Amino acid sequence: MFALKMNVLMIITIIMIMSFGIFGETISKTNSETKLIADLLAGYHPKVAPTDNGPVQVKMGFDMSYFDFIDEPKELAIAHGFVYRGWNDHRLQWNEADYNGTRRVNLDRNTVWVPHIQAANSAKVTELLESQVLVFSTGRVRFYQSLQIEFLCDMDLTYFPYDKQSCNIEFGSSLYTTEHINLTASPNRGTNGSRVNSAKDFQITTLDVQRSEKSFRFIAPYSFVDVTYTIGLKRVSSVYRAKLVVPSVLTSFLILATFLLPTASKEKITFCSNMFLCLLLLIAFLHTTVTSTVETVLGQLLAFSLFVDFFATIMAVVSYNIKNRGTSILTRKDYGIMLQDTTMDGDSGMRAEKTLSTKFAWLRYIDVISFIGFSIVFVIGLAAILNQRE
């Protein structure tokens, strides 16, 4: 029993010694980091760039995680991701042995120099998480920011909804020229669009990066450096095929059926009027989706269909009036009997009807010629719409 108590007491003693050792080491580590931060920032000026050995070599990357159009008619897009910046600052070096083996430390970004880099074409930038600067004993500095960037994207909607878009996010500094920093794109960062989530209307195909320099006369011979990330997009056309493309094409072809109806019938006028309203609704729906409706092939087809329907309606009204006016002025002197006379015999009626049909046959010829001509034009327009750009 005594031996058991001694063993338990020995185990408790060992645990307490180890605990005090770990606790003491933690305190020592904390004191070392506190002393290190105080020594690094003593006499350090965060507004002065470390340009003693020439321009600061700054590498940046953009790891985009999400993309979407928040207002497509206004060509306003949004991107979420981490913006990375890395550089060397010789003033932030230390000997690890002097600070209990401390290899790295986090510093407030307002206490050290950070290269001023911003999205030049952004409308609004929101920082999602508060970031700190990571400093290594070699003077290597890393800075990560989680950003939400709203920016303008010039869109080409000619072949909507089979269009492909290219959006650019330009990162650069408006404060530092190439005399102060040399901005380059970090390899293997932001060059793969397969990991990026996007809205259901678009699919990201490419994500490229390119560095460029811009010179201005007032700062010659120096220039500003930009790193541009280009996002390649392809619209998912199946979303609009059923609710816009197919109804537009079928409605446009139905207009051709008006030329096959009887020349001087009231039903033809009614049918043309209904088609005119349907086309107006389709144009209004297209305009709510894209602002530049007239620039799209689909919008041009609907506009042309509207013109054809207007032309067919005018022809139907004119034909109806010509034929009815011509019938009302027929006299017994011209045909031997009024067409409206119920006492006329069968042969006289047939002769009168044949004479009437012959007199207004030219109206039917116009309908046939219009049907053939507009059918050819519609086939060409439909081929242009369904022609997807690769």
16 and 67 in a single domain? The answer is no
From 236, 261, 290, the end of a domain falls on 236
CATH number of the domain that residue 229 is part of: 2.70.170.10
193 and 256 in a single domain? The answer is no
207 and 257 in a single domain? The answer is no
In terms of phi and psi (left: phi > 0; alpha: psi -120 to 50; beta: otherwise), the region of 51 is alpha
**Cβ proximity of 19 and 11 under 8 Å:** no
The reply to whether 50 falls in a domain is no
Which whole number is the average pLDDT over 251-274? 80
Tell me how many degrees the CA angle 269-275-280 measures, rounded to the nearest 5.
130
**Cβ proximity of 112 and 135 under 8 Å:** yes
301 and 204 in a single domain? The answer is no
| Domains in the chain, number | 3
Tell me how many degrees the CA angle 185-191-192 measures, rounded to the nearest 5.
160
CA neighbor of 202 nearest in space, from 158, 168, 240, 236: 236
From 220, 236, 252, the end of a domain falls on 236
Kindly list the strands in the beta sheet with 118-119, ordered across the sheet, starting from the edge strand earlier in the chain. Answer: 118-119, 164-172, 223-235, 202-215
Q: What was the pLDDT predicted at 39?
A: 84
Polymer length of the chain: 390
Indicate the residue type of 210.
Answer: Q
124 and 263 in a single domain? The answer is no
The reply to whether 161 falls in a domain is yes
Which whole number is the average pLDDT over 86-98? 88
- Radius of gyration, CA atoms only, the chain: 39
The reply to whether 288 falls in a domain is yes
Higher local confidence (pLDDT), 306 or 218:
306
Which whole number is the average pLDDT over 291-314? 79
111 and 212 in a single domain? The answer is yes
| Alpha carbon distances (Å) from 263 to 223, 316, 317, 319, 374 | 73, 7, 10, 6, 17
Convert the pLDDT of each residue in 158-213 to its tens digit: 888 888 888 888 888 878 888 888 888 876 454 455 556 666 778 888 888 888 88
pLDDT band for 3, please (50, 70, 90 cuts).
low
23 and 65 in a single domain? The answer is no
Domain limits at 190? 56-236
From 175, 206, 236, the end of a domain falls on 236
Q: Is the pLDDT of residue 84 over 60?
A: yes
250 and 343 in a single domain? The answer is yes
373 and 263 in a single domain? The answer is yes
